[in-house]
Amino acid sequence: MTIVVQKFGGTSVESYEKMQQVCNIIKNYKEKGLDLVVVVSAMGRKGAPYATDTLINLCKNVNENSSKRELDLIMSCGEIISGTILTNMLKGNGIDAVFLTGSQAGIYTDGKFSDSRILDIKPERIYKELDEGKVVIVAGFQGTTESGEVTTLGRGGSDTSAVAIGKALECETVEIYTDVDGIMTADPRVEPEAKVLDYINYEEVFQMADKGAKVIHPRAVEIAKSGSIALNIKNTLNPSHPGTRISGMSPKFEVNKEAKSLHTMTAVAHKNGIAQIKVKSKEDIFTEIMNEIESNEISLDMINFFVEEKAFVIDHEKLKILKDILNNHDLEYTVKENCAKVTLIGTKMTGIPGVMAKIVRALSKSKINLLQTSDSNMTISCLVEEKDMKSAVHAIHDEFKLN
């Protein structure tokens, strides 16, 4: 039996009309004789009546410090609502289906509320339902501990559920349905010339997600890579479009043997809401400060440590707590708020000369102030002021001819 795992995101199930489209896709696959496991997100995004954020607010409205355990319970309801409706709609369309919560589907987690990892999937129940010819609808984003506590997998975690189930069922491919034709070379709301990529490798898509692009949950990519599962990103409203395929080494690169070509760059990601910190350092106490930063779960990025000065960036949300730490130690520092990180991504940029030079030229031609940079073997990140973010994405996208 060939099992296909499909995941439908929040926008794909936000209304009865959209769900009907999901039913049509499922019906099509069923008619081809495939066995289907369908993972769903909660209905709609922020503001929608049964969206995850709405459910969180139901608790937070009565207590800003709602307990994580209860928040996970209420959050888990979003996917139960969408999944049960979709199951009933399928049955109404003459397709036999059954809905399973994360726990009923055998998804076991480590018990960390709001940010659990999946430890194990016991797929017996899923197999049993498939054997009976049913489409199995599973609530994404949730699982259970061995002792029965419901936990969620971190925001956007339905992707992770789908890929983990695909791995447990030994599928070759998992299909992720969303509201665009595939993964694009940049966020199309920021860069009008962004285009859909037909192919991207695990590392690049992981970097895109990590550097702020809302493409797919990074943990889902990790699991896909560990199980060598290809992911097809597709549009629920345009299912005949081939979408973007995510797997190992990109054929685009293998075909393009000209390793020196700058066309091997793949995408530009961006992330707003960043603050740049520069601390006049007193070596002796900096270790202590780093310990406090760690214990407060503040993650530092674009780290540049010199003897005289330590420069790094953090998310705005963590700014207050960081300032408290620095003030407590009487340190001299400056903060530049409202910055954005713009990152060029391409697996094979290592060894290609002139990538940084091109970026610097492109930004300077557009009169953008480059505040700081950092790089890895497949990324170059530029810190700019938020007001320059759009032009920076455009300048880099254009310079490397990603369109």
DSSP H or E stretch at residue 26: helix 16-31
Write b or e for each residue in 125-145: b if 16 or more Cβ atoms lie within 10 A of its Cβ, otherwise e: bbbebbeeebbbbbbbbbbbb
Q: In the complex, what is the shortest distance from the CB of residue 56 to ligand ASP, in angstroms, rounded to a whole number?
A: 9
Binds ligand ASP (CB under 6 A): choice among 99, 108, 141, 206: 141
Cβ–Cβ < 8 Å for 245, 198:
yes
Indicate whether 157 belongs to the interface with Mg ion (CB under 5 A).
no
54 versus 281: smaller Cβ distance to Mg ion: 54
Nearest C-alpha neighbor of 272 from the set 369, 190, 157: 190
Indicate whether 156 belongs to the interface with Mg ion (CB under 5 A).
yes
14 binds, among ligand ASP, Mg ion, none (CB under 5 to 8 A by kind): none
What φ, ψ does residue 383 adopt, rounded to 5°?
-90, 125
Question: Cα 232 to chain center, whole Å?
Answer: 15
Query: Cα(305)–Cα(319) distance, rounded to whole angstroms?
Result: 19
Binds ligand ASP (CB under 6 A): choice among 6, 11, 12, 52: 52
Restricted to residues 12-41, the positions that interact with ligand ASP (CB under 6 A) are 41
Indicate whether 157 belongs to the interface with ligand ASP (CB under 6 A).
yes
Query: Cα(205)–Cα(35) distance, rounded to whole angstroms?
Result: 28
Q: In the complex, what is the shortest distance from the CB of residue 156 to ligand ASP, in angstroms, rounded to a whole number?
A: 4
Q: Is 178 annotated as a binding residue?
A: yes
Indicate whether 44 belongs to the interface with ligand ASP (CB under 6 A).
no
Binds ligand ASP (CB under 6 A): choice among 155, 278, 318, 336: 155
Q: Is 106 annotated as a binding residue?
A: no
Cβ–Cβ < 8 Å for 213, 272:
no
9 versus 346: smaller Cβ distance to ligand ASP: 9
Q: In the complex, what is the shortest distance from the CB of residue 344 to Mg ion, in angstroms, rounded to a whole number?
A: 24
Question: Which range, of 61-69, 120-128, 156-164, 267-275, touches ligand ASP by CB under 6 A?
Answer: 156-164
The angle at the Cα of 27, spanning 214 to 227, to the nearest 5 degrees, equals: 45
Tokens of 321: 């707590």
- Residues in contact with Mg ion by the rule CB under 5 A: 9, 156
- Residues in contact with ligand ASP by the rule CB under 6 A: 10, 41-42, 52, 78, 140-141, 155-159
